[in-house]
């Protein structure tokens, strides 16, 4: 099943950014949830609201959470070896 487009442009761009870094989207909660590529119990996840009060802030929060994911750094270190 293909992911539906988010109704807000800024949040849609943040979700697309996450998917470019191999995060996956699942339909959970209000609109969906993003899961980091570290497919384990301790993997990072970010909830995506369908109608946030301030869409710009919500998009920045999503990007911040993606950039702070410690598993991306581990994956990059493993690929160097």
Q: Residue 31 sits in which domain range?
A: 9-80
- What does 1-65 look like in DSSP terms, one character per residue? -PPPPPSSHHHHHHHHHHHHTT-EEE--SSSEEEE-S--STT--EEEE-SS-SSHHHHHHHHHHH
Is 76 inside a domain boundary? yes
Is 73 inside a domain boundary? yes
**Structural domains of the chain, count:** 1
Reported pTM: 0.85
| Structure confidence by residue, pLDDT tens digits, 23-74 | 999 999 889 999 999 877 888 999 999 999 999 999 999 999 999 999 876 6
Is 2 inside a domain boundary? no
**Contacting residues for 81 by C-beta, under 8 A, at least 6 apart:** none
Is 69 inside a domain boundary? yes
Cα 57-44-17 angle, rounded to 5 deg: 50
Q: Hey, how many other C-beta atoms are within 10 angstroms of the C-beta on 26? A: 12
Is 4 inside a domain boundary? no
């Amino acid at each position: 099943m293909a992911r539906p487009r988010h109704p807000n442009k800024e949040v849609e761009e943040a979700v697309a950014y996450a998917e470019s870094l191999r995060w996956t989207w699942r339909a959970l909660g209000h609109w969906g949830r993003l899961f980091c590529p570290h497919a384990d119990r301790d993997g990072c996840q970010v909830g995506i609201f369908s109608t946030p009060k301030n869409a710009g802030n919500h998009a920045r929060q999503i990007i911040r959470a993606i950039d702070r994911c410690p598993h991306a750094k581990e994956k990059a270190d493993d690929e160097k070896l």
